[in-house]
Amino acid sequence: MNISTEKTAGWANYPRIVAAVARPENRDELADYLHHTGQCIARGNGKSYGDASLAPNMVSMLGFRKILEFDREKGEIDCEAGVLLADILPLIVPAGWFFYVTPGIKAITIGGAIASDVHGKNHPVAGCFSNWLISFELMRADGEVLTCSRSENAGLFWQTCGGMGWTGIILSARFRLRRISSVHLRQKTVEAGDFEALWRAFEENGHWPYAAGWVDGLSPRHRGVALFAEHLESDAPDMPLRYEVPTPKNIPFYAPSGLLNPLSTRIHNYFYHRKNKSGERLADLESYFYPLDRTLNWNRLYGRRGFVQYQFCLPENAAYDGLIRVLDAIRAHRQAPFLTVLKKHGERPPEAVHSFPVKGWSLALDFPRTGGLPALVRRLDDIVRASAGKIYLTKDACSAPDLGRIDPAAFGEEKFWSLLKGRILSGG
């Protein structure tokens, strides 16, 4: 087994640490490594933004990348934890299946999807990844492998979903897929001149299964665009679907750190808002679900200093006022988020104690890392805390420790310490 010392980071290139990275190729090597190493964190494809998979000892799971079974009749797939969503799509889409829940990039591992309990643009109707998870295999620190499901080791099942890796290392998983008969979607775009109009667009179009909004973080009135979508039905549902991935562009080197600044962001926002006029059009799976994947290494646009994504969720009763306070605070601190994404969230299973979304609204903000950013993050933390909100640990790099952390009291201290005896240290 290869173990190398590397300088590494998450997708946002901040923070960066020096770590010993192990690359086991089978379960025996992994169990032996855990026996001799002790504390470590599993790492997938390194697409989490902050420090979620960073620790002095890291285990790369990319050696576990086999698709074990695809049941074309039931729409179920069984695969190892290092398999990427991008590995699965060319197999399932031609057969008429898609993910119930998918985040905005497809280069993430199944193990990472479970550890983060990822959500997508359809949380009010489909929930998180765990809603469609049947079972998974989990290796504990002593090398024991447990099968976890809603009926077998159910406590570990729910504490692993969204648990950021502290319960063990996921080896494989089985989950359900949803039927589709077309690779196309009907997409509706709604322009909004201010935040109230954007909010109203979500409320008036709540029957659309997919919804996400873009907010101009530099606009005094917080103008934006809402994008809604639904899968189209094919006239020939029995015909194999054609899944095509356009050749992505590549950012071959790091841009100067000041490239994304208030001026360039204003220009970008002007053209983005101008491009997205109200109306309906045809979209495909790639363009609607994975627009960021059309550019390889887009994180290099932020320069070597990297960036920080601040993503938080506020409960329904505090969301509107809290979001306005956040957007006003950003303008007051003169920071320029290059990307700002708004989503609405629904109920979640009561057992999913570590899942990020609560019934309410979330906002994700990408900030170039500047000297004034830490002060803004502290201010945003105060607003989120006062609104009884939480931050997304998969994206977190510098928020206060009390926001969104795993709370032993949430499911009983005795159970927590019992499970913790064989834990794998979370790097979050």
Instruction: Examine the fold and report which residue of 44, 60, 76 is the final residue of a domain before the chain moves on.
Output: 60
pTM (2 d.p.): 0.92
By percentage, how much of the chain surpasses pLDDT 90? Answer: 87
Q: Are residues 157 and 297 in the same domain?
A: no
Q: How far apart are CA 358 and CA 390, in angstroms?
A: 9
The number of distinct structural domains making up the chain is 3
Q: What is the pLDDT of residue 333?
A: 92
Question: Which amino acid, residue 278?
Answer: S
The rounded Cα 363 to chain-centroid distance in angstroms is 13
Query: Mean pLDDT for the chain?
Result: 92
Same domain, 258 and 170: no
Q: What is the rounded average pLDDT of the residues 334-355?
A: 93
pLDDT beyond 70 at 421: no
Least confident span in 155-159, 215-219, 258-262, 420-424: 420-424
Asked whether the predicted pLDDT for residue 407 surpasses 60, the reply is no
Judge if 40 and 160 occupy the same domain: no
Whether residue 403 has pLDDT greater than 90: no
Distance CA 221, CA 224 (A): 9
Residue 418: pLDDT above 70? no
Q: Tell whether 145 and 225 lie within a shared domain.
A: no
263 with 375, same domain: the answer is yes
Domain termination residue (choose one: 156, 180, 204): 180
Among 119-123, 142-146, 238-242, 287-291, the range scoring the smallest mean pLDDT is 238-242
Q: Which helix or strand (DSSP H or E) is residue 22 part of?
A: strand 16-23
Q: Is residue 402 part of a domain?
A: no
* Residues 147 and 229 grouped into a single domain: no
Q: Examine the domain organization and report whether 376 and 291 are in the same domain.
A: yes
- Whether 411 is covered by a domain: the verdict is no
State the Cα–Cα distance between residues 237 and 233, nearest whole angstrom.
Answer: 8
Examine the domain organization and report whether 125 and 263 are in the same domain.
no
pLDDT at 416 over 70: no
Q: Is there a domain that residue 403 lies in?
A: no
Pairing of strands 57-60, 169-179: unpaired
Pick left, alpha or beta for residue 38 (phi over 0 → left; psi -120 to 50 → alpha; otherwise beta): left
State whether 327 and 219 are in the same domain: yes
Query: Range of 137's domain?
Result: 67-180
Residues 49 and 7 reside in one and the same domain? yes
CATH code of the domain in which 284 resides = 3.40.462
Bond prior to 15 in cis (omega within 30° of 0): yes
What is the CATH number for 123? 3.30.465.10
72 and 39 together in one domain: no
Q: Residue 126: inside a domain, yes or no?
A: yes
pLDDT in tens, 326-344: 999 999 998 999 999 999 9
Band of residue 38 on the pLDDT scale cut at 50, 70, 90: confident
